[in-house]
């Protein structure tokens, strides 16, 4: 336990950053709750990598930690149920490519606001972190929703940004254009500028 408490500042969990983190968590719960009201997962009726990425973070926040679990139940009851369901999908039937939405079937009315939340919070962090790593700085800082956010520069997030950019560049021209149209003005588009 002491080891984890000591790591909090390393991963940005400080008193100064708390308002940014907590307000974003509540917005994410509300937006995701609305999105999964109409479908089982982010991109249709089968789980995708994005679902597992959100699950990884939300499993601790929604189920393990009492204060954030209470918030999840209050602000995103469907998210609480979704996290519990995603925890074991061994029973979920997956046949070939069944269950994916095609581009025209994406629930953009709820997906784009979710992407905009990610773009307004995580994109500034990712870009500032990459700049700090490139400059050899031990700490990064950025503005998130009008507030300063600081933490140690994190090499793993630097790698994930490079991987995202490489995957984006590897898309066919038509697929990249479709992705770019969805990401336009969400803040996520800045990751690929």
- The string of pLDDT tens digits covering residues 99-150 is 888 888 899 999 999 999 999 999 999 999 999 999 999 999 999 999 999 9
**For the chain, first and last CA: distance in Å?**
41
10 — pLDDT class (breaks 50, 70, 90): low
11 — pLDDT class (breaks 50, 70, 90): low
- The string of pLDDT tens digits covering residues 35-55 is 999 999 999 888 999 999 999
Q: Which residues of 4-28 are buried (b: 16+ CB within 10 A; e: fewer)?
A: eeeeeeeebeeeebeebeeebbebb
- Whole-model pTM? 0.89
């Amino acid at each position: 336990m002491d080891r984890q408490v000591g790591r909090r500042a390393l991963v940005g969990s400080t008193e100064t950053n708390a308002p940014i983190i907590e307000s974003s968590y509540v917005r994410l719960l509300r937006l995701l709750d609305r999105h999964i009201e109409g479908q089982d997962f982010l991109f249709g009726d089968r789980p995708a990598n994005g679902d597992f990425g959100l699950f990884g973070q939300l499993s601790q926040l929604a189920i393990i930690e009492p204060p954030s679990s209470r918030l999840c139940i209050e602000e995103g009851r469907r998210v609480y149920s979704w996290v519990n369901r995603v925890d074991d999908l061994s029973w979920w039937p997956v046949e070939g490519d069944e269950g994916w939405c095609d581009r025209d079937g994406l629930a953009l009315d709820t997906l784009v606001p979710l992407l905009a939340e990610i773009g307004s919070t995580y994109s500034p962090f990712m870009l500032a972190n990459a700049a700090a790593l490139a400059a050899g700085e031990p700490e990064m800082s950025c503005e998130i929703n009008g507030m300063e956010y600081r933490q140690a520069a994190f090499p793993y997030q630097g790698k994930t940004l490079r991987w995202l950019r490489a995957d984006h560049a590897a898309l066919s021209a038509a697929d990249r254009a479709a992705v770019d149209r969805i990401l336009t003005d969400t803040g996520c588009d800045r990751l690929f500028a």
